[in-house]
Amino acid sequence: MPALATIIENLACAQEDLLRIANSIPPDQWKTKPAEGQWSAGELICHLSAVERFILTRADKLLQNPPKPVPFYKRFHVPMLIVEARVIRRKAPAAVEPRMVGDKEEMLAELRGVRERTLAFIEETKGRDLSEYNMPHPFLGTLNAYDWLQFIASHEIRHRKQMREIADSLPKTVTGFA
């Protein structure tokens, strides 16, 4: 389990890298899908915001009650490096509704706002031992609250690679000198 300082640093680095790539996508291409069946940059950011918000909501509810014991064998899970590697492609559990995709600046501000709530959650709970609070992940196994916080960063790293693919596949705009 990484230390809280490491998790916070990982969250910051993952989002910084993702936002750097997202900023390279012109606002008029924000909702452009690079190919049929692929997400646009806006859909990807919408997904990341929704997942992080969902994790925070579940973690907050989880901490409202005493931790439930988890058998030793259920404490093992797939390493976060597998999440980050994006070697195994996964279908998102829920599709992103096109109507949920807003303008570029609005969506990036929302993602930053969700991250601020995550950091506030970490600050509010830093005096507690969150290692005893566990929730299942559909693919990775049972994760404790610290693992879930690290998952947010690893998930963003995974999708940073996808954002790079989107940015690289979009038509490049050419500006001329008059």
Q: Is residue 24 part of a domain?
A: yes
The answer as to whether 175 is a domain residue is: no
pTM of the model: 0.84
In a domain, 177, yes or no: no
Q: Is the pLDDT of residue 177 over 60?
A: no
Q: What is the pLDDT of residues 64-120, one digit of tens each?
A: 988 777 655 566 555 566 666 665 555 555 566 667 788 999 999 999 999 999 999
The verdict on residue 104 lying in a domain is yes
For residue 18, the enclosing domain spans 4-169
Which pLDDT tens digit goes with each residue over 33-60? 988 888 899 999 999 999 999 999 999 9
Tens of pLDDT, residues 118-159:
999 999 999 899 988 988 887 777 889 999 999 999 999 999
Cα Rg of the chain, angstroms:
18
Is 25 a member of any domain? Answer: yes
Look at residue 174 and tell me if it is in a domain: no
* DSSP codes of every residue in 63-81: TTSPPPP--GGGG-B--HH
Residue 120 lies inside a defined structural domain of this protein: yes
Q: Can you tell me the distance from the alpha carbon of 23 to that of 29, in angstroms, rounded to the nearest whole number?
A: 11
The answer to whether position 176 is within a domain reads no
CATH code of the domain covering residue 62? 1.20.120.450
CA torsion sign for 6, 88, 52, 13 is: positive
Total structural domains within the chain: 1
